[in-house]
Amino acid sequence: MKYILLSNGSELPIVGLGTWKTEPEEVENVVEIALNSGYRHIDTAFNYNTEEPVGKVVNRWISSGSVRREELFITTKLPVWGNRPNDVEKYLKLSLSRLNLDYVDLYLMHMPFSFHSNKDNTAPLVKEDGTFSLDIESDITATWKQMEKQVKNGLTKGIGMSNFNEQQVKKIHNIAEIKPVVLQVELHAYLQQKELRKACNQMEIAVTAFAPLGSPGTNQHFTKKYNFAFDNYPDILGLPIVQELSKKYKKTPGQILLKHLIQQNISVIPKSSNPERLRANIDLFDFNLSEEDMQQLDDLDREESGRIFNFLFFKGVEKHPEYPFK
Ligand SMILES: NC(=O)c1ccc[n+]([C@@H]2O[C@H](COP(=O)([O-])OP(=O)(O)OC[C@H]3O[C@@H](n4cnc5c(N)ncnc54)[C@H](OP(=O)(O)O)[C@@H]3O)[C@@H](O)[C@H]2O)c1
């Protein structure tokens, strides 16, 4: 495993396990296989419904002496419906109790925009017309100050953001007493985030790529859950150049796409519930892509038009002042 040294001194395993959309009944088994295959970095979030089973397996491994807590890197996230100063500590404590851990390694503001919460704090409030109830009072810098308090109180080692644009990242960086250590954003061959990565590099913020394989299958999820159709959903794993390099290096298309990112020091958190793919997705350290092949993959970048996760399935979100992708 290769690690990225974060600005707070923590070491982030460059490959982690994504858990969004892992079926609740599968999570324990998936995490068990992942830990056995060498994963030490797990990405979850308050709204993934995976914190509890992740916590169960992790605690089993710690109490049996199979792994030390310090060897694990656990990330979770503040939900979009709790994205306000007064809610930060409450949601982090709820996540810690679900995980049954004293601290996480990284706590992320999941989104820059905020929604009001439903009555039982489990989902965003949706209005009768189907639009999400926007909390336009929320102030990302005030929320950040409460994120900092969580580090001071020992509930998380590091703090960061997800889905923030460059301007928003800079805004936080400028006011921060405790600096963000990680920005987690959509990042794959079609959306390579080159400008944003350069800016993060200058601010000593590591970048984690979500949907590093282009999130196959998420179009069905958007349609089923939000009745939101995505036109021309891309098949990045199926691209001819990815298939060609897969044959050339005798690696799976997934391994080619992940290697393209980690070879640039970008951490990746692919999700899989399939034991074979889980193992393959971390088995990336016995080959290197040539400069020429890296360039061919670099050339796939479609910049902004390669974005899949514009969050417009949250009806009305684009009206929020902090909607990041205007
Ligand atoms: N911060 C955010 O807003 C945000 C948003 C989205 C995702 N995330 C995080 O990022 C993680 C990864 O993103 P993602 O799950 O959307 O997309 P992804 O990791 O790019 O793709 C996951 C999909 O690819 C399949 N897959 C996995 N490995 C494969 C391989 N080697 N070859 C072919 N197919 C493969 C999986 O199916 P099988 O399970 O059947 O293998 C699954 O359907 C999430 O799980 C979550 O932790 C964060």
65 torsion bin: left (phi>0), alpha (psi -120 to 50), beta (else): left
Helix locations, the chain, DSSP H? 24-36, 51-63, 88-99, 140-152, 166-175, 194-202, 218-226, 240-249, 253-262, 275-282, 291-298
State the pLDDT at residue 230.
82
Parent domain of 110: 3-319
Cα 284 to ligand 1 centroid, rounded to whole Å: 17
Residue 24 inside a domain? The answer is yes
State the pLDDT at residue 179.
98
Cα 128 to ligand 1 centroid, rounded to whole Å: 32
Can you name the residues that pair with 115 across neighbouring β-strands? 134
Residue 282 inside a domain? The answer is yes
Residue 75 inside a domain? The answer is yes
Residue 89 inside a domain? The answer is yes
Residue 325 inside a domain? The answer is no
Ligand 1 pocket residue status of 270, Cβ below 6 Å: yes
Residue 48 is a catalytic residue: yes
State the pLDDT at residue 88.
98
Kindly list the averaged pLDDT for each block of 10 residues, start to end, along the chain of length 326.
Answer: 98 98 96 98 97 98 98 98 97 98 98 96 94 96 98 98 98 98 98 98 98 94 87 94 98 98 98 98 98 98 96 96 96
Strands of the sheet containing 182-186, edge to edge, are 17-18, 41-43, 73-78, 104-109, 156-162, 182-186, 206-210, 267-268
The domain spanning residue 131 has which CATH number?
3.20.20.100
For residue 325, the number of C-alpha atoms closer than 13 Å in the C-beta half-sphere is 17
State the pLDDT at residue 47.
96
**Number of domains the chain is built from:** 1
State the pLDDT at residue 141.
98
CB 76 within 8 Å of CB 51 = yes
State the pLDDT at residue 201.
98
Residue 296 inside a domain? The answer is yes
State the pLDDT at residue 229.
83
State the pLDDT at residue 232.
85
Can you name the residues that pair with 160 across neighbouring β-strands? 108, 182
Residue whose CA lies nearest to ligand 1 atom number 11? 18
Residue 324 inside a domain? The answer is no
Distance of CA 236 to the CA centre of its chain: 19
Residue 326 inside a domain? The answer is no
State the pLDDT at residue 228.
86
Only one residue has tokens 């899949």, namely 308
State the pLDDT at residue 194.
98
Cα 152 to ligand 1 centroid, rounded to whole Å: 32
State the pLDDT at residue 231.
81
